[in-house]
């Protein structure tokens, strides 16, 4: 367990008052998250899958037996203090959207809280079909320029905070995957970024306007899709200058979560990988959006990068230098939100003998994503109160394609990410950081 000592706890503002959670998108993920939290608040369900609600953290030596709940160790916002808002191009209330999405049981988890869900109506969204080809919406903002639209979002944020008496806010992108956009000159500085907004430049996507609005209003922004969004130099610098926590990208839920568990095992045991074929079938709004090749390319970039970064073929060319890696996503309406992720992995071991692993993950996309939204909202609020501005790499645990500082490669291994997260919490609270060396248990006095 050998440890590195943090000298003192870091100053963290108390989690007092209401925390407004503003979600971009009021579809399957957001309604499952909001309805889930309300069911937990009423004692009708448990917050399974949520580290902030159910996870513990070991402190000190194993022999000390100190493993409090994370929420008892760090000052986190209470579920009772959360207030919800959302933007969506479709005008359905959270109640109507939850019924349409078909994720939660109508009679067990929706009707008992119908009044609560009906009270959440989406604000008009910044939406442009150019960026999400398969969706249409009528609940959409209008403005002469993209800067006008960003200013309208800023007003929404201020109005929501005042109306609901919130002390703090956090924004989480839970909306669809936009078409692929490569970083370019317009994203380099605030001057070029704002000039591009004024010129309605197509390189400035709606998700960037939400990120810009959040940062300008001083509220943390977590990006749950593979969109470029806040992962550009201009917005990263703005976040640092404004003292705002940002991060992303793309919720780590089904198939990619498994990849970030299995591939570290292969590398740890020096087992080679010759091929990895992944296919997904899903029928929700996400599946419909990803049926468009341009949106799929954005998602594909997020999914494909995981193996390369974990397996490090440049260090192990004989084991991983010639992997054939293929990812497919197929829109299949009968499945709805119940996604099937199928993987065929061709590996080889001693003397080059081949072996295979087959994985068939019959998962529920929004059920896996909802607790991530909760944790990200609560942890990004913690980061903001602790003065941790800019990219929150310690929350890579929640993302497929973690945002990271220039010059670094992202850490994808789920368990390294978990260690990073928990050691950051220990560091914030002035506790010893655990390295798992364990020599001190066997050394003679």
d(CA 71, CA 380): 14
Sheet arrangement for strand 324-331: 324-331, 272-282, 338-348, 354-364
| 22-48: pLDDT as tens digits | 999 999 999 999 999 999 999 999 999
The per-residue pLDDT for 2 is 42
- Asked if pLDDT for residue 1 goes beyond 50, the answer is no
Q: Where are the alpha helices (DSSP H) in 165-283?
A: 190-198, 206-216, 233-242, 255-268
The whole-angstrom distance between residue 86's C-alpha and the CA centroid of its chain comes to: 16
d(CA 233, CA 98): 36
Which comes out higher in pLDDT, residue 309 or 83? Answer: 83
- Asked if pLDDT for residue 337 goes beyond 90, the answer is no
The per-residue pLDDT for 248 is 95
- Paired tokens of 237: 């610098």
Over range 318-340, report the average pLDDT. Answer: 91
Q: Are 30 and 37 in contact (CB under 8 A)?
A: no
The per-residue pLDDT for 289 is 78
- Asked if pLDDT for residue 60 goes beyond 80, the answer is yes
- Cβ burial, residue 85 (10 Å; 0-12/13-18/19+): buried
Mean pLDDT of the chain: 93
- Paired tokens of 359: 């994985």
d(CA 85, CA 119): 10
d(CA 22, CA 433): 33
> In which residue are the tokens 């590195």 written?
4
> Omega before 249 cis (within 30°)?
yes
Question: Of how many residues is the chain composed?
Answer: 445
Over range 125-143, report the average pLDDT. Answer: 93
Over range 149-169, report the average pLDDT. Answer: 98
Which comes out higher in pLDDT, residue 334 or 218? Answer: 218
- Cβ burial, residue 31 (10 Å; 0-12/13-18/19+): buried
Instruction: Produce one character per residue of 234-243: b if its CB has 16 or more CB atoms within 10 Å, e if not.
Output: bbbebbeebe
Least confident residue range of 15-19, 304-308, 432-436: 304-308
Within 31-187, strands assigned E span 82-87, 166-173
- Cβ burial, residue 96 (10 Å; 0-12/13-18/19+): middle
SS (H, E, C) 305-371: HHHHHHHCCCCCHHHHCCCEEEEEEEECHHHCCEEEEEEEEEEECHHHCEEEEEEEEEEEHHHHHHH
- Asked if pLDDT for residue 297 goes beyond 90, the answer is no
| 167-184: pLDDT as tens digits | 999 999 999 999 999 999
The per-residue pLDDT for 296 is 66
- Asked if pLDDT for residue 4 goes beyond 70, the answer is no
Three-state DSSP state, 23: strand
Q: End-to-end distance of the chain based on CA atoms, in angstroms? A: 17
d(CA 366, CA 372): 10
The per-residue pLDDT for 298 is 67
The per-residue pLDDT for 439 is 83
Confidence band of 445 (pLDDT split at 50, 70, 90): low
| 366-421: pLDDT as tens digits | 999 999 999 999 999 999 999 999 999 999 999 999 999 988 888 999 999 999 99
Dihedral angle over CA of 130, 131, 132, 137, nearest 10: -60
The per-residue pLDDT for 335 is 87
- Asked if pLDDT for residue 6 goes beyond 50, the answer is no
Of all residues in the chain, the percent with pLDDT exceeding 90 is: 82
Instruction: Produce one character per residue of 368-405: b if its CB has 16 or more CB atoms within 10 Å, e if not.
Output: bbbbbbbbbbbbbbbbbbbebbbbbbbbbbbbbbbbee
| 267-293: pLDDT as tens digits | 999 999 999 999 999 887 777 776 777
């Amino acid at each position: 367990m050998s440890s590195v000592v943090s000298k003192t706890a870091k100053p963290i503002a108390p989690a007092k008052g209401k925390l407004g959670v503003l979600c971009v998108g009021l579809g399957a993920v957001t309604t499952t998250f909001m309805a889930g939290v309300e069911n937990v608040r009423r004692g009708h369900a448990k917050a399974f899958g949520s580290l902030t609600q159910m996870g513990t953290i070991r402190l000190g030596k194993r022999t000390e037996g100190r493993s409090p709940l994370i929420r008892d160790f760090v000052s986190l916002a209470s579920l009772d203090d959360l207030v919800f808002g959302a933007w969506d191009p479709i005008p359905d209330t959270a109640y109507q959207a939850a019924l349409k999405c078909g994720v939660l049981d109508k009679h067990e988890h929706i009707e008992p809280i119908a009044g609560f869900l009906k009270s959440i109506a989406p604000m008009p969204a910044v939406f442009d079909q150019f960026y999400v080809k398969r969706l249409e919406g009528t609940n959409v903002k209008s403005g002469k320029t993209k800067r006008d639209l960003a200013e309208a979002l800023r007003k929404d944020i201020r109005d929501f905070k005042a109306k609901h008496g919130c002390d703090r806010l956090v924004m989480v992108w839970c909306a669809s995957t936009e078409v692929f956009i490569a970083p370019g000159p317009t994203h380099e500085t605030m001057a070029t970024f704002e000039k591009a907004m004024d010129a309605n430049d197509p390189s400035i996507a709606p998700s960037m306007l939400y990120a810009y609005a959040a940062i300008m209003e001083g509220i943390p922004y977590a990006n749950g899709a593979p969109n470029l969004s806040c992962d550009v130099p201009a917005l990263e610098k703005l976040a640092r200058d404004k003292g705002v926590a940002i991060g992303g990208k793309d919720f780590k839920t089904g198939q990619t979560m498994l990849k970030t568990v299995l591939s570290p095992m292969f590398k740890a045991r020096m087992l080679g990988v010759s091929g990895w074929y992944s296919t997904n079938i899903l029928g929700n709004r996400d599946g419909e959006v990803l049926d468009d090749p341009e949106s799929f390319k954005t998602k594909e970039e997020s999914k494909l990068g995981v193996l390369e970064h974990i397996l490090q073929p440049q260090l192990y060319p004989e084991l991983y230098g010639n992997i054939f890696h293929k990812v497919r996503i197929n829109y299949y309406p009968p499945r709805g939100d119940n996604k099937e992720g199928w993987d065929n992995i061709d590996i080889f071991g001693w003397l080059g003998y081949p072996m295979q692993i087959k994985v068939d993950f019959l998962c529920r996309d929004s059920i896996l994503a909802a607790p991530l939204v909760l944790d990200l909202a609560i942890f990004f609020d913690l980061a903001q109160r602790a003065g941790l501005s800019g990219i929150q790499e310690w929350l890579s645990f929640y993302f497929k394609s973690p945002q990271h500082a220039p010059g670094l490669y992202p850490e994808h291994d789920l368990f390294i990410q978990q260690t990073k997260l928990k050691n950051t919490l220990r560091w914030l609270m002035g506790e010893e950081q655990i390295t798992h060396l364990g020599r001190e248990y066997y050394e003679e006095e």
